[in-house]
A and B are shown apart, each in its own frame.
Chain A
Amino acid sequence: GAVVSQHPSRVICKSGTSVKIECRSLDFQATTMFWYRQFPKQSLMLMATSNEGSKATYEQGVEKDKFLINHASLTLSTLTVTSAHPEDSSFYICSARVGDPGGTFGSGTRLTVV
């Protein structure tokens, strides 16, 4: 089946630095990927929809300048958390839907900003 590879799985960074998270579709082409954020013991909140070759669509309340999304190819979407702060610490998950119901999720990235 379809596989989405997400890296890194865990990252610790200093406050003020930037972190890039990658999501790759391994055996299919993903024209659209979704980025979610999950706070501890809470549900997944959609942050943005990433479209290959065009600008991402951000959900209300998500700062586009802080969470930079790039979808330059059909197999790679990246989320960069710029000038990270402790409140950005969270679990970030990407997902791609390619015909299969529900889509395929990456394994998630645990970001800790210290």
Chain B
Amino acid sequence: GEDVEQSLFLSVREGDSSVINCTYTDSSSTYLYWYKQEPGAGLQLLTYIFSNMDMKQDQRLTVLLNKKDKHLSLRIADTQTGDSAIYFCAESPAGNTPLVFGKGTRLSVIA
């Protein structure tokens, strides 16, 4: 079945880069996503990448996709304290289907 794995914790110093990794199993996934969840809040879509892309950059965020290894990463440049949150990796095929989420990586930014 579908499964998304990611490390549970990451701690970085303010100003450094953060890299959050994720592996997935469904090779038919058309889109792969990164969501951010702040305490007590819903999910905010940060960015997504289409499966035929290798990289996508959006301001401080860079997503790398290795489709062969089914590996996805999110790099946050110049990490700020406001970036402290839980980051979820998710996959889904195209269409009106639910997402499959990883367990989330709790990012702690140390000032």
Taking Cβ atoms with an 8 Å cutoff, the residues of A that contact B are 6, 31-32, 34, 41-44, 46, 49, 93, 95, 97, 101-108, 110
Contacts and interface: CB of A to CB of B under 8 A. Distances in A.
A32 B96 contact: yes
A43 B96 contact: no
Interface string B44-78: 11001010000000000000000000000000000
Contacts of A97: 96-97
A93 B40 contact: no
Contact of A44 (B44, B101, B106): B101
A102 B96 contact: no
Contacts of B104: 42-43
Contacts of A43: 88, 101-104
A102 B33 contact: yes
Interface of B: 31, 33, 35, 40-45, 48, 50, 88, 90, 96-104, 106
Contacts, number: 52
Contacts of B44: 105
B41 A107 contact: yes
Contacts of A108: 40-42
Please indicate which of the listed interface residues B40, B88, B98 has the most CB atoms of chain A within 10 Å of its own CB. B98
Contacts of A101: 31, 33, 48, 50
A105 B101 CA distance: 13
B96 A31 contact: yes
A6 B42 CA distance: 10
B104 to A, nearest CB: 6
Contacts of B101: 43-44
Contacts of A42: 103-104
B89 to A, nearest CB: 10
A93 B98 CA distance: 13
A45 B31 CA distance: 19
25 contacts: A31-B96, A32-B96, A34-B98, A41-B106, A43-B102, A43-B104, A44-B43, A46-B98, A49-B98, A93-B43, A95-B98, A95-B99, A97-B96, A101-B33, A101-B48, A101-B50, A102-B31, A102-B33, A103-B45, A105-B42, A105-B43, A106-B42, A107-B41, A107-B42, A110-B40
